[in-house]
Amino acid sequence: MIKHTQQSGFSLLEVLITLVILAIGLLGLAGLQATGLKSNLSAYHRSQATQLAYDIADRMRANMTAINNYPAINPTTATAQAGCLAGGCSPALMAQHDIYEWNLALTTALPSGRGTISPAIAGIYTISIQWDDNRDGAVDGNDPDFQVSFQL
């Protein structure tokens, strides 16, 4: 008499297929996590840009006497005005100091952050902030250009 044996348990092939499917799923989860982190960082930078744009707009509103000086000042060459910290400077020097502090905040809070203020057209000023969102080493057309316009 021939005895038939029944297979019980898993074969090695079934275990290997299960491991491959599990590995693909875990790689997918890791990719999803990386994309989520990148999007979260991008949203954080956009929030920082929003706050910095409103910061310089408020500084401009507080210094109405020299408001037209702000667009003319190059943020990368603006210098700190020590007298302004003590409260004894002219409106033009305050504008210079405001742009200096704004540029310092831009370069600190945003990767390769830079900003410009456009002169008023029909009483409307436009603040533009750019940064290297994709971290390729250059601020170009692939990166955000956040703009805020306000009228006095």
In tens, the pLDDT along 84-132 reads 877 778 999 999 999 999 999 999 999 999 999 999 898 899 999 999 9
Ordered alpha helix ranges (H), 8-134: 12-62, 82-86, 91-109
53-90 per-position pLDDT tens digit? 999 999 999 999 999 999 999 988 888 888 787 777 89
Measured CA to CA, the distance from residue 99 to residue 104 in angstroms comes to: 8
Q: Is 28 helix (H, G, I), strand (E, B) or coil?
A: helix
Measured CA to CA, the distance from residue 119 to residue 71 in angstroms comes to: 5
- Residue with token string 């037209």: 68
